[in-house]
Structures are given as structure tokens and as C-alpha cells.
Chain A
Amino acid sequence: MNDLTSPISSEQSNDASRLGYLVPAILILGLASIVAWLSYTQEPASAFLFPRLISTVMLLLALWNFFRAAAGKSKVGKGLTRTTWMRILPGIMLMAAFIFFAAKYLGFYVASTGVFFLLYSGYDPASHLSPKSWVKRIVVTIVFMGVVYALFTLLLKVQTPRGIFL
């Protein structure tokens, strides 16, 4: 968890490289090309009249954005540093595992309790060696999930998917 505790240096927090801005520009251009291609090739044509109009504008803008990024003129936004990547990746992977697998197979409530506890524990600045911190994490998780259960299941009558557990 070293990357989760180290502060972002001023050098690291500077704008990302030109390549860093070129990658999203290429991805957006790719998406715009696919949307335009589908809009002009799918049938019936009348159902794709509006998509054609929008995808044409989108493709032109994506091209413009790509050329600006290639020329290094597209540095708007903070970009992403290596430290930021290292900090957010475990969290994103945990969230993805929860949403795409655990919620369905373990059950919504058990998976939610697990992800809440793991995310909170993983990013909690309090010591991982102190039993007191772990007790606090367990109590906060149970109380929060109790509130969620009261709100969604008891109040809103939402039927959540059940897996192996609740």
C-alpha cells in the first residue's frame, strides 16, 4: 500500500505528457468512427437518419480533437499521474469485481458489505495493525449496511438479487 500513502509530488501532479492526451483522443476517434460507420451501414436507413447527423458531427469533432492532441494543443484537464493510477486501480478493480461478479454470485447484501468493508479498510488512513481500527471498521460497515437495508429493502421494497448468500 506504499502508493496509497505517498503524497503526490508537484512534479508528478503536473500535466500528463502529450502521449497521455493522445491516447484518449485516439479512443474517442475510434468510438466516433465506429458510431459513424454503424450509422451509415445499418438498416433501415430511416431509423438511422438522426444518428447519421450526430455521428457525422461527432466524427468531425473527434478528428479535430485528435489533431489538436497530436499537436500538443489539447492539454485541458489534470491528466493522470502514475501515483494516481496506482492509487485508483485497486479500488476500481475491487468495484468491478463487486459489480460484475460478487453481487450476482454472492448476493447483493453480502457483496455490498464486503466491498464497503474492503474499500474502507484499504483506503483508511488509520493503522492496519491496530485492533481498535478494525473494530471501528466493522462497526461502521454494519451500521451503514443496516441503514441501506432499512432504506432500500424495508422502505423502498427493492428486491435485490440473491446469490449463494443474501
Chain B
Amino acid sequence: MEFLQYFGGVFEPTSFLLLIGGTIGGLILGATPGLSPTMAVALLIPFTFQLAPTQGLILLGAAYTSTVAGGAVSAILLRIPGAPANIATALDGNAMAVQGQGAKALHISFLSSGIGGVIGVFLLIFLTPVLAKWALLFGPSHLFWMAILGVTVIGSLDSKSFVKGLLSGCLGLWLSMIGYDDIQGAQRFIFHDALTGGVSIITALIGIFAIPQVIEMLAVGRQRQDIAAVTVSKQPFLESVKLTLSSVKSLSIGTVIGSFIGLIPGVGGQIAGLLAYDQTKKFSKNPESFGQGNPQGVIAAESANNAMVGPSLVPLLTLSIPGSPTAAVLLGGLLIHGIFPGGDLFDNHPEVIWTFINSMLIGQILMVVFGIWVAGYAAKVAQVPKAIMASAVLVLAVFGAYSVQQSMGDVYVMFVLGVAMYFLEKFGFSAAPLVLGLILGPIAEANFIQGSMIANAMNGPFEYFMMGSLNLFLIVLVLASIAWSFVTSRKEAKNAAAAGDA
């Protein structure tokens, strides 16, 4: 119960104001179609430079939590999911809104998000220290394999083609090697002066997540968006509370699936929401009512995508392996504040980490309160023309990248990576494995070099890296993640071919 000691830090005036600001801002950003939670957190990182590590993390954590929930507003009122995590919410949420139950849909959406989120954060509180102690047993060879596992898992699961997923991971690992080698100071892959200091993680994150979305918005051209929001009339809040609390089955399915998916590195909220929705529908006595405005569909999807948030930080804080692409961006935020995840994190920075985790708990409650209040305004923001959104995101991305080191070189790198990522995504490559490769690359290399030195003094690299039960276990996991993805993508290709023939 160590976390209880650090609750006071959350209520310090600056921290609490940041928590409120991050929550409201995140709700509005989340409700805006085209602004994903990952991009919102990436664009916020430069604003944390001036803050103390705890305050910076509180802001990022609040934004992470509330952008995921905020995406439900546009999903319900406009049938446009604010984020991929809210796809399942749009199915029944919008049907409810069309039937005149928009307020009720918003209420149950935020209430179930809050309940799922609180359970998810409790899992984070109780699982993380246990895993962190276990992580202390890891030596360089294990940490090397863990980093490789992070890239292969996310490369396999987050991509529709496992070859392209793994290639994206390798591209990220290569990007992480650009610049000067840490041990000998040798120049590596410096093709331009802007790359002399290497590729800054924050710069890359902003470019990879913001610029493709800017170009995607431009791809719509000058077509008018005829988005009509459903009119929301007032409905009794208490009724929604009763409905949510009585939906034990949907809440249980949502939180269990969301928490489990969050713990698996790299899978993310989109899958959590859809899987929970699907399972709730299967277990329902009236599966045919799903898609027609069944509140249980909203409750399952929203409790799942927010229950995923807390557990997605468990592998991040203990093993440096993010549970979702947004958690990968958050890892960048931790690193720039000098917080290195790992087994000794809770010994070295207990006040920072526990205050951050506690703020996520309080943030869930604030998210429910402000969510219901802000929803009406957020829906209006969601209708802002794409031309304004694209221009605004571009300018913010350029200023954000520049402010990292006050260097134009960073802006060039950000733009080139962003444009390249747009084209790569169009041809099936994913941003998440690339980013994870970039983040985990230095960890993998440092442990590979350290392990090689130890191996040379012992029985050689083969025995050091390939033997031992933990090494073997991790190698099996790496191979299993690749094999699973290979089998799945072959199966999908066969199904697609069969559908094409038909």
C-alpha cells in the first residue's frame, strides 16, 4: 500500500491544475476526429520540458486517459470515432443518439470508461511492483531479448503483414543507431548534418504520428464535411448511473478483456473495444439488438478501452515495453525526464512514479465529471473543418519539434520522417513497431554490447545469449510471436483470396 503515501503530491496546486487541464484538453482532443491519443500525447511532450518530471507525467497521463474516453463523444454524436479505440462505441452509441438518447449514451460511456479505467489503474498499482521486483533478476542478455521481444510482438500484432511489421521494427532499430556510437564515438549513418546528434525520440514521435495525419486530412481535399451532430436533450443522470452499475456482465467482460489486452505489449485499445463488444454480444440474450442502440454495447466497448490504459503501463514501467502505441510515446516522455523504466524504478523514483499512477486514478474520476460537462462543447470542436485542423497540427508539430533542442535540424528530421511514414502506412507498414524499434533500439544495443563483453570474459556469446532458462523462455516468446503472426497473416490472405474468388 505504498502508493497511499504519495496521494498528497497529486493535490499540490500546480499538479492538480495540470491534471484538470490535461483531462479537459484530452477530452476535447480525443473528440476531434483525426487527432489520435498517440498524436495528442506526442504533441504535448514539448510542453512538459519546463515542468518537473512528476508534473510532466501527470499532464501526459491525464491526456492519455481522457483522449481515449473523449473519442466516444464524436463516436456517439457524429458516428465518427475520435480514435480507433472508439470504433465499437460508434455502433450502438450513435444508434442511441439517433433515437434521442444521446445524453444517456454519453453518460454511460463516461461512467463505464471511469469504472474500467479505475480497475485498470488498480491493476497497474498492484501488478507493477511485483513485476518490477521480478525484472531486477534480468541481466543484459535478458534485457536484450526483452527489447527484441517488444519489437517483434508489436511488429507482429500491430501490422496486417507480419513481414512489413517486422521490417518497420527494423527500420526503427536502424533509426536509433544513427549518430555517434556511445562507446567508441564512431559516426554511424550520418547522411546529413541534421543527423549528427542522432534521431531525437520526441522529434521522431511528433513527425511519425502528426505529419501523416496532417497529410491524411489534406487527402480529403476541399470536400465539404456535411457532419450533422445529433441534438442532445437533457436526460436524468441518475438513471444512467443505475443502468451502468446494473450492467455487471458487460462491465466485467469489458474490464477483463481491456485489462488483459493492455498487459500484452503493443496491442492497444482498438482491439480491446472491439473484442469486448463482440464477446458481450455473444453472451447477450438479445444479440440482434446490438448495433440498434443497445447500451450494453457502449458499456462493454468503453469500459474495455479505458481498462486497457492502466495495464498498458505495466510492461512499460517494469520492462520498458509499452502496452500500446500511446504508451510508447509516454515512454519517450519518461526518458526525456531522466526516468528510466526497469526493476529499480520504484526504488529510485518512488515519488515520481507513485504520484503519476495516483494521478491516473484521480484522473479517471475527473474524466467522468468533466467528460459529461465538456461533451457538448467537444462535439462542436469535432466539427472544425479539416483544413483548420491540418494547418494547426502542422504548425504545432513544427514548433513542438523545434522546441526539443531549439534546432532546425530536428524540424527537418521530423518532417522527413513524417512524410515517409505517411507513404509507408499507405503500403501496409505500421508506425507503432517503427517507434518501438526507435525507443527500444538503444536499450537493445547497450545490453547487447554489455552482454557481449561479459560473454567474451565467460564462455562465449552463444552460451551467454542463448542458454539459461530465462533466455530460452524469451527466445521462445520471440519466435512464438513471429510464428503466430505468420500463421495469422497467411490465414487472412487465404480468406481474402477466397472472398475475392466469391
**Which A residues are closer than 8 A to B by beta carbons?**
1, 3-7, 20-21, 24, 28, 32, 35, 38, 42-44, 46-51, 53-55, 57-58, 61-62, 64-65, 68, 73-80, 83-84, 87-88, 91-92, 95-96, 98-100, 103-104, 108, 112, 115-117, 119-125, 140, 144-145, 148, 151-152, 155-161
Say yes or no for B372: interface residue by CB 8 A criterion.
Answer: no
Say yes or no for B309: interface residue by CB 8 A criterion.
Answer: no
Say yes or no for B445: interface residue by CB 8 A criterion.
Answer: yes
Q: Which A residues are in CB contact (< 8 Å) with B159?
A: 76
Q: Does A87 lie within 8 Å of B167, measured CB to CB?
A: no
Q: Quick one: given A58-B170, A99-B411, are A120 and B394 in contact (CB under 8 Å)?
A: no
Q: Does B403 lie within 8 Å of A61, measured CB to CB?
A: no
**Which B residues are closer than 8 A to A by beta carbons?**
46-47, 49-50, 159-161, 163-164, 166-167, 170-171, 173-174, 177, 181, 183-184, 186, 188-189, 214-215, 217-225, 385-388, 390-392, 394-396, 398-399, 402-403, 406, 408, 411-412, 415, 419, 423-429, 444-445, 448-449, 452, 493
Distance (whole angstroms) from the CB of B173 to the closest CB of chain A: 5
Q: Does A7 lie within 8 Å of B390, measured CB to CB?
A: no
Query: Which of B184, B387, B390, B427 is the one whose CB lies under 8 Å from A24?
Result: B427
Query: Which of A53, A115, A152 is the one whose CB lies under 8 Å from B448?
Result: A53
Q: Does B188 lie within 8 Å of A115, measured CB to CB?
A: no
Q: Does A76 lie within 8 Å of B427, measured CB to CB?
A: yes
- Other than the given A91-B390, A158-B402, 6 more pairs (CB < 8 A) read A42-B188, A47-B181, A54-B174, A120-B391, A123-B222, A144-B392
Distance (whole angstroms) from the CB of A152 to the closest CB of chain B: 5
Q: Does B427 lie within 8 Å of A21, measured CB to CB?
A: yes
CA distance A152 to B47 in the complex (A): 8
Q: Does A91 lie within 8 Å of B448, measured CB to CB?
A: no
Q: Which B residues are in CB contact (< 8 Å) with A47?
A: 181, 183-184, 186, 188
Q: Which B residues are in CB contact (< 8 Å) with A152?
A: 399, 403
Q: Does B161 lie within 8 Å of A148, measured CB to CB?
A: no
Q: Does B223 lie within 8 Å of A103, measured CB to CB?
A: no
Residue among B50, B395, B429 having the largest count of chain A Cβ atoms under 10 Å: B395
Query: Which of B183, B188, B415 is the one whose CB lies under 8 Å from A96?
Result: B415
Distance (whole angstroms) from the CB of A29 to the closest CB of chain B: 10
Distance (whole angstroms) from the CB of B60 to the closest CB of chain A: 16
Q: Does B177 lie within 8 Å of A112, measured CB to CB?
A: no
Q: Which A residues are in CB contact (< 8 Å) with B188?
A: 42, 47-48, 51
Query: Which of A44, A51, A68, A148 is the one whose CB lies under 8 Å from B163?
Result: A68
Q: Does B189 lie within 8 Å of A38, measured CB to CB?
A: yes
Q: Which B residues are in CB contact (< 8 Å) with A32?
A: 170
Q: Does B424 lie within 8 Å of A119, measured CB to CB?
A: no
Distance (whole angstroms) from the CB of A56 to the closest CB of chain B: 10
- Closest partner residue, chain B, to A65 (CB atom): B163
Q: Which A residues are in CB contact (< 8 Å) with B388?
A: 120, 124, 140, 144
Q: Which A residues are in CB contact (< 8 Å) with B411?
A: 99, 103
Q: Which B residues are in CB contact (< 8 Å) with A3?
A: 221
Q: Which A residues are in CB contact (< 8 Å) with B184?
A: 44, 46-47
Q: Does B402 lie within 8 Å of A160, measured CB to CB?
A: yes
Q: Quick one: given A65-B163, A95-B415, A151-B47, are A57 and B170 in contact (CB under 8 Å)?
A: yes
Q: Which B residues are in CB contact (< 8 Å) with A157?
A: 50
Distance (whole angstroms) from the CB of A6 to the closest CB of chain B: 7
Q: Which B residues are in CB contact (< 8 Å) with A95?
A: 214, 394, 415
Q: Which A residues are in CB contact (< 8 Å) with B385?
A: 124-125
Q: Does B50 lie within 8 Å of A156, measured CB to CB?
A: yes
CA distance A62 to B168 in the complex (A): 10
Q: Does B186 lie within 8 Å of A108, measured CB to CB?
A: no
- Closest partner residue, chain B, to A25 (CB atom): B427
Distance (whole angstroms) from the CB of B171 to the closest CB of chain A: 7
Query: Which of A64, A87, A108, A115 is the one whose CB lies under 8 Å from B391?
Result: A115
Q: Quick one: given A38-B189, A77-B426, A96-B415, are A124 and B398 in contact (CB under 8 Å)?
A: no
Distance (whole angstroms) from the CB of A109 to the closest CB of chain B: 10
Q: Quick one: given A47-B181, A53-B448, are A58 and B427 in contact (CB under 8 Å)?
A: no
Q: Which B residues are in CB contact (< 8 Å) with A7?
A: 223
Q: Quick one: given A61-B170, A100-B412, A103-B411, are A125 and B387 in contact (CB under 8 Å)?
A: yes
Q: Does A158 lie within 8 Å of B215, measured CB to CB?
A: no
Q: Quick one: given A76-B428, A92-B419, are A119 and B391 in contact (CB under 8 Å)?
A: yes
Q: Does A156 lie within 8 Å of B426, measured CB to CB?
A: no
Q: Does A108 lie within 8 Å of B412, measured CB to CB?
A: no
Q: Does A156 lie within 8 Å of B49, measured CB to CB?
A: yes
Query: Which of A4, A43, A77, A115 is the one whose CB lies under 8 Å from B425?
Result: A77
Q: Does B493 lie within 8 Å of A50, measured CB to CB?
A: no
Distance (whole angstroms) from the CB of B139 to the closest CB of chain A: 17
Q: Which B residues are in CB contact (< 8 Å) with A5?
A: 221-223
CA distance A21 to B426 in the complex (A): 10
Q: Does A123 lie within 8 Å of B387, measured CB to CB?
A: yes
Q: Does B174 lie within 8 Å of A112, measured CB to CB?
A: no
Q: Does B174 lie within 8 Å of A84, measured CB to CB?
A: no
Q: Which B residues are in CB contact (< 8 Å) with A104?
A: 408
CA distance A115 to B215 in the complex (A): 14
Query: Which of A43, A78, A116, A121 is the one whose CB lies under 8 Å from B392?
Result: A116
Q: Which B residues are in CB contact (< 8 Å) with A61?
A: 163, 166-167, 170
**A-B contacts, 20 listed (Cβ < 8 Å):** A48-B188, A49-B449, A49-B452, A54-B170, A55-B174, A61-B166, A77-B425, A77-B427, A80-B423, A91-B215, A92-B218, A95-B415, A99-B411, A117-B391, A120-B388, A125-B223, A144-B388, A148-B396, A157-B50, A158-B403
Residue among B50, B399, B452 having the largest count of chain A Cβ atoms under 10 Å: B399
Q: Which B residues are in CB contact (< 8 Å) with A58?
A: 167, 170-171, 173-174
- Closest partner residue, chain B, to A51 (CB atom): B177
Q: Which A residues are in CB contact (< 8 Å) with B398?
A: 98-99, 103, 112
